Amino acid sequence: MKNPSYEDVCTDKTGHAEAVEVTFDPKKINYEKLLQVFWDNHNPTQLNRQGPDLGTQYRSVIFYHNDKQKEAAIKSKEKLQKSDKYKDRKIVTEVVHIEAFYEAEKYHQQYLEKRGLSTCHI
pLDDT digits (tens, 9 = 90+) for 7-62: 999 898 999 999 989 999 999 999 999 999 999 989 999 999 988 889 999 999 99
Q: Please work out, in degrees rounded to the nearest 5, the angle formed at the alpha carbon of residue 90 by the alpha carbons of 20 and 41.
A: 35
Assigned CATH for 6-112: 3.30.1060.10
Whether residue 121 is predicted with pLDDT greater than 60 in this model: the reply is: no
Q: What is the tens place of the pLDDT at every residue in 71-115?
A: 999 999 999 999 989 988 999 999 999 999 999 888 877 777 887
Task: Provide the whole-model pTM.
Answer: 0.87
